[in-house]
Amino acid sequence: MEIIVTNESDIAIIAIKGRLDAVTVPQLEEQLTRWFEQPGTKLIFDLDGLEYISSAGLRVFLTTAKKMKARDGKMGMARLRENVKDVFTISGFIALIPAFDTLGAAQEAVR
């Protein structure tokens, strides 16, 4: 798995590529722990390159959404592949984290 963090003005974009599973999840958790050390309030996950997600990955999205809510921030995710979207839908998480077809739409929503 590869994680790339970029910043566009005050919006942080975290792009995840590859597999987010029980093996790789600690990598993402580490990145997010670091991100939460600073006071940012706008966060987008770019999931265009995410091929696979299991409940271990979902757990990270839920804890992140809770933390963002706690700091009154805005969070979204963009460009989910069909299989990844299925997992978010079945778990009900799709109703908790706004999902967008394009990165632009996600940026617009958290702006």
Partner 1 sequence: MLVKQMPARVESLHELLTFIRVEAKKRGFSESALGRIELVAEEALVNVFVHGYADGQGDVEVRCLVSDDPALTIEIHDRGVSFDPLSLADPDVHADLTKRKIGGMGVFLIRKMTDAVAYRREGNTNILTMTFRNR
**Single residue of 96, 103, 105, 109 touching partner 1 by CB under 8 A:** 96
Task: Give how many residues touch partner 1 by CB under 8 A.
Answer: 22
Length of the chain counted residue by residue: 111
Does 6 interact with partner 1 (rule: CB under 8 A)?
A: no
Name which of 34 and 69 has its Cβ closer to partner 1: 69
CB 58 within 8 A of CB 97: no
Place of tokens 């706008």: 42
Residues 28-67 that bind partner 1 (CB under 8 A): 52, 54-56, 58-59, 62-63, 65-66
15: DSSP letter: E
Token digits for 69? 């809510």
